[in-house]
Copies of this chain bind each other. A is one copy, B any other.
Amino acid sequence: MKTQKTYAIGVDLGGTNTVFGIVDAQGTIVVQDSIKTQAYKTAEAFVEAGVACLRPLIEQVGGIANLAGMGIGAPNANYYSGAIETAPNIAWAHETIVPLAQMFSNQLSALDPQPSTPFSVRVTNDANAAAMGEMAYGVARGMKNFIVITLGTGVGSGIVINGQLVYGHDGFAGELGHVIMVRGKEGRSCGCGRTGCLETYCSATGVARTAREILANTDRPSLLRNKPADQIESLDVSIAAFQGDEVANEIFQFTGKMLGEACADFTAFSSPEAYIFFGGLCKAGDLIMKPIEESYNRAVMPIYRGKAKFLVSGLMNANAAVLGASALGWGK
């Protein structure tokens, strides 16, 4: 007899913490707990600790039979293979392929006294999980075509077309932080081994890099000079900009212009209804969002002008990554 499943597990696997949440059909995280991602030497030890963390949570919602499945948002996660593939920032997944979905599924299936099928576990990358979260519970509810752009340490993206996440042929589609914005030798060097990628300019790290460049190459006065240049973070730029600092505002203009031009190219690809921005940099609000939208409408091909919405994530304060990953747990 098939039991009605009333919960799904969402997992936000980050470089520091891994958060496990159990989510109901309305998108409420009913219970959650976390472990330190890097406190384990092997993937096996990490999975074991994860299941130990999950077990009491699962008991609280009445046992594994009440759960539809589990979704994990993780760096370098491949939806098709269910694996984390050589994630540079996670010690136990560095230079190796970890079949995380299979490992969790084996352990969680064993919790079910009467398993009918293996417990469903799926993985996807952080930005794709954010896009699923926006579609299920955020500002993209009801949208079929949109792009989430995450502005964090890097620039990530989750692309939805015809109501489906775009995984591509190999499961690695949606790396919009790595389109080339500055071609040739003058492009900034990127962690991916190339130069000129969008994320070298428009991630939080890129914004700090822009700040350091301007401060080093000019003698213009700025509040940003109150801090040693190598300690400047994007948050400092936001604070200075809110205080009316001219250099800080110029940095947001520069960043927004490039993001707008990048989105203009993305529109020639999939013409989405909205671009949804996610991450700490968005807390600067209009200071960053206005330059993006203005630049976009200047840069985009005339037939698209004025059509796309530019939105800030509706899940900034909630646990978007856990919610988004849980959407995968429902089998969506």
Contacts from A to B (Cβ < 8 Å): 144-145, 159, 161-162, 164, 166-176, 178-183, 192-194, 261, 264-273, 299, 301-304, 307-308
Contact = CB atoms under 8 A, between A and B. Distances in A.
Contacts of A179: 265, 268-269
A180 B270 contact: no
A261 B172 contact: no
Given A180-B264, A265-B180, A273 B169 contact: yes
A304 B170 contact: yes
B166 A270 contact: yes
Contact of A161 (B161, B176, B265, B304): B161
Given A175-B301, A180-B261, 13 more contacts: A159-B269, A162-B162, A162-B164, A162-B166, A168-B267, A173-B268, A174-B268, A174-B271, A176-B268, A180-B265, A182-B183, A193-B302, A194-B299
A9 to B, nearest CB: 26
A210 B187 CA distance: 25
Closest 3 CB pairs of A and B: A168-B271, A173-B271, A169-B273
A150 to B, nearest CB: 15
Contacts of A267: 168, 173
B271 A172 contact: yes
A183 B261 contact: yes
B303 A268 contact: no
A101 B193 CA distance: 49
Nearest to A183: B261
Contact of A304 (B159, B172, B182, B193): B172
A272 B168 contact: yes
A141 to B, nearest CB: 15
Given A261-B183, A307-B169, A270 B273 contact: no
A179 B192 CA distance: 22
Contact of A169 (B145, B166, B192, B194): B145
Contacts of A162: 161-162, 164, 166
B270 A301 contact: no
Nearest to A162: B164
Nearest to A194: B301
19 contacts: A144-B169, A145-B168, A159-B270, A161-B162, A161-B164, A161-B166, A168-B270, A169-B308, A170-B271, A171-B271, A173-B267, A173-B269, A173-B271, A175-B301, A178-B301, A179-B265, A179-B269, A183-B261, A192-B301
Contacts of A271: 167-174
Nearest to A144: B169
Contact of A173 (B168, B183, B270): B270
B192 A302 contact: yes
Contacts of A174: 268-271
Contacts of A299: 180, 194
A96 to B, nearest CB: 15
A142 to B, nearest CB: 12
A183 B196 CA distance: 13
A266 to B, nearest CB: 7
A265 B159 CA distance: 14
Contacts of A269: 159, 166, 173-174, 176, 179, 266, 269-270
